[in-house]
Structure 1
Amino acid sequence: MIKVQHGQDNPQSLYILDATCEVVGNAEVLPNPTDSDSETRRSSSNFLRADWTAFIQQHITNKSVSPLLTHLKWAHFEEYDKGISRFWLKRIEFEGDLGFMKRTVAERYVLACVIGNGVSGCWMSTAEMAQESAGLASRIEGTSRKAPEINLFLPAHHHVESVHFTTAKHILLHPAIAVIQTLSREYYILRDNGMEIGCEEDGVRGVWMHLLRCTNKGLPLWTA
């Protein structure tokens, strides 16, 4: 939970995801987790959805609650573990602390790339998010709804093949930047929260080059 203040307004308490810093709702607005479906589908920047309310309350009262990634759904289960290449995960097991860091960054990227409705906005089932990702109608009518649970869905084009902290020539990237290899392309991301800041075709975006003092290839200016 964080507190933010805009100008002279009163401070506002917000719940955020630890891994990505994305806001999930206002900490001062706590609906009943058993609210009706119409309530769980409300979309407001100040509203903490019933699924997140239940999840947070479980964490407050029960220290053995499963990690957030256990709510993730993804395609090609045989090849990917929580959206990350099983082959690559096996390979980095032998890299010690470096391998652990790479896996952590990969998991942050995965959480940063789930369909937006998994985190905020109207609640959607995994099937609805999968259909929306495929460009199909997202609403599935005529199905009964139970008390909502957190559903996180990762589109296949964000499945992680590998994570790199160096260039192809083994030059160290800026310490705030990592490169994510997916099936379709490479992305430059922030190591701390998995946020995309560029891609292989265009390089790091200008605003991030300025903020981080790096080149468009993700190299620190002090060594470039």
Structure 2
Amino acid sequence: MWPYLRLREAEVARRRRLYEASFVSRFLHTLGLPNPIATRIWASPDNSKQLSVAVRFALTRAWFELSVGSPRDSRTNPDSWLHGTVVDVQEIVPAEVWSVTVEYAASGARPYRRETLYVLETTCEVIGRPAAGVADSPGNLGGTTGYPRPLRVDWSAYITHRMATSETDGGLLAHLKWACQEDYVRGISTLWLKRIATEGQAGAAKRTVAERYVLASVIGNSISGRWMTTNEMAQEFAGLPARVNGQRGKKNATLNLFLPEHHHIESVHFTATGGRDLHPALAVVQTPHREYYVLRDNGMQVGCEEDGVAEVWQEVLRCDARGGSL
């Protein structure tokens, strides 16, 4: 028993060292903020993926903070996600949806608060909060994270269905719609998929990044906000006027994920032009029209070929404009 405990303690210590050496840890430390993950999560006590999901959640929150911004200074705003600590992470739909519970310490007149959010495993983007989660937070969230709404009807129906059956029916990506289906498989080049199938672990890693980019790049209403049909999302993306929908007043339980042609994937690379290795946190995604620099762990964009890696991300990652480590 004792050797096992020592082994577990050594594994937790190793995980902490890896995290503390990461850019997410540096970013939060620079802001003078606490560790975003509770002590018990470091051992992944309930599921081997608990810690990786918690870290990805912190990464995605950092991405929204740096790339989208917030209306108030997150360092002084007690309602900001940056002041929360992930205290529980549970798998809801295997390999697809997790619940993340975040606690906020009492601050001045603000009481202790807790919120539970449902996130996608691939990107850790928030899709909503379970209805029961409304009672979790005495402060009723207000606008603490920007995601106060419960799950949309389509997401709720999808999760309920997946929890009630062991059959995957193709899983989440079975609900994805994309153009040129003869040349792309779920938005990814058929020819490229055949090519990387012979690359072993490297090819598998590239495919994982590609699938993360796909879910990170679907039209926003696929994930949250107003429910829309695939056609409506395509028309809105193209700048066309919306058609009158006779079903608008009805709650539709069909989950629609739409990937514009602009974000179809031709290939994914871990090296820059000339064969230079990219920063370990970065990958380059080649689409039909341009290249994008993305974070490997959640597929979200941090730059493009014309401008390079955004300056704010160069500073956080400690890389140059072309994604090379400094």
Q: Give the aligned partner of residue 15 of structure 1.
A: 118
Q: Give the aligned partner of residue 279 of structure 2.
A: 174
Of the two, which has the highest radius of gyration? 2
Moved more, 7-16 or 163-172: 7-16
Q: Give the aligned partner of residue 52 of structure 1.
A: 155
* 1:147 CA drift (Å): 4.0
* 1:133 CA drift (Å): 1.3
* Cα distance change, pair 139–45 in 1 and its aligned pair in 2 (3 A): farther
Q: Give the aligned partner of residue 24 of structure 1.
A: 127
* 1:179–1:187 CA contact under 8 A, matched in 2: yes
* 1:143 CA drift (Å): 4.8
Q: Give the aligned partner of residue 225 of structure 2.
A: 121
Identical-residue share of aligned pairs (%): 54
* 1:188 CA drift (Å): 0.2
**Aligned runs of 1:126-145 on 2, under 5 Å?**
126-143=230-247
One-letter amino acid of the counterpart of residue 92, structure 1: I
* Structure 2: runs of 5+ lacking an equivalent: 1-98, 107-111, 134-146
How far apart, CA to CA, are the structure 1 residues paired with 2:251 and 2:310?
A: 43
C-alpha offsets along residues 168-223 of structure 1, whole Å, 9 cap, x if unaligned?
Answer: 211111111000001111100001111000011111112211221111111111xx
Moved more, 142-151 or 185-194: 142-151
C-alpha offsets along residues 93-143 of structure 1, whole Å, 9 cap, x if unaligned?
Answer: 111111111111011101101011010001111111111111112344235
How far apart, CA to CA, are the structure 2 residues paired with 1:128 and 1:118?
A: 11
* 2:128–2:148 CA contact under 8 A, matched in 1: yes
After TM superposition, the score normalised by the length of structure 2 is 0.61
One-letter amino acid of the counterpart of residue 185, structure 1: R
* Structure 1: runs of 5+ lacking an equivalent: 31-43
Q: Give the aligned partner of residue 88 of structure 1.
A: 192
C-alpha offsets along residues 3-22 of structure 1, whole Å, 9 cap, x if unaligned?
Answer: 12345241100000111111
C-alpha offsets along residues 16-56 of structure 1, whole Å, 9 cap, x if unaligned?
Answer: 011111100012458xxxxxxxxxxxxx7322111111112
One-letter amino acid of the counterpart of residue 48, structure 1: L
After TM superposition, the score normalised by the length of structure 1 is 0.87
One-letter amino acid of the counterpart of residue 285, structure 2: I
How far apart, CA to CA, are the structure 2 residues paired with 1:116 and 1:45?
A: 16
* 1:88–1:162 CA contact under 8 A, matched in 2: yes
How far apart, CA to CA, are the structure 2 residues paired with 1:10 and 1:146?
A: 31
* 1:29–1:48 CA contact under 8 A, matched in 2: no
* 2:229–2:256 CA contact under 8 A, matched in 1: yes
* 1:13–1:28 CA contact under 8 A, matched in 2: no
Q: Give the aligned partner of residue 165 of structure 1.
A: 270
How far apart, CA to CA, are the structure 2 residues paired with 1:138 and 1:29?
A: 35
SS of residue paired to 2:197: helix
- 1:69 pairs with one of 173, 176, 197: 173
SS of residue paired to 2:224: coil
* Cα distance change, pair 23–215 in 1 and its aligned pair in 2 (3 A): same
One-letter amino acid of the counterpart of residue 3, structure 1: T
How far apart, CA to CA, are the structure 1 residues paired with 2:324 and 2:167?
A: 41
How far apart, CA to CA, are the structure 1 residues paired with 2:158 and 2:279?
A: 35
* 1:148 CA drift (Å): 1.8
One-letter amino acid of the counterpart of residue 283, structure 2: A
Q: Give the aligned partner of residue 102 of structure 2.
A: 4
- Relative contact order, CA 8 A, sep 6+: which one is greater? 1
- 1:97 pairs with one of 196, 201, 206: 201
**Aligned runs of 1:146-157 on 2, under 5 Å?**
147-157=252-262
* 1:129–1:138 CA contact under 8 A, matched in 2: no
Matched, 1:220 2:318: no
Paired residues, what number?
Answer: 210
Of Structure 1 and Structure 2, the greater helix share is in 2
* 1:62 CA drift (Å): 2.0
Q: Give the aligned partner of residue 184 of structure 1.
A: 289
CA RMSD, aligned part only?
A: 2.1
How far apart, CA to CA, are the structure 2 residues paired with 1:182 and 1:109?
A: 11
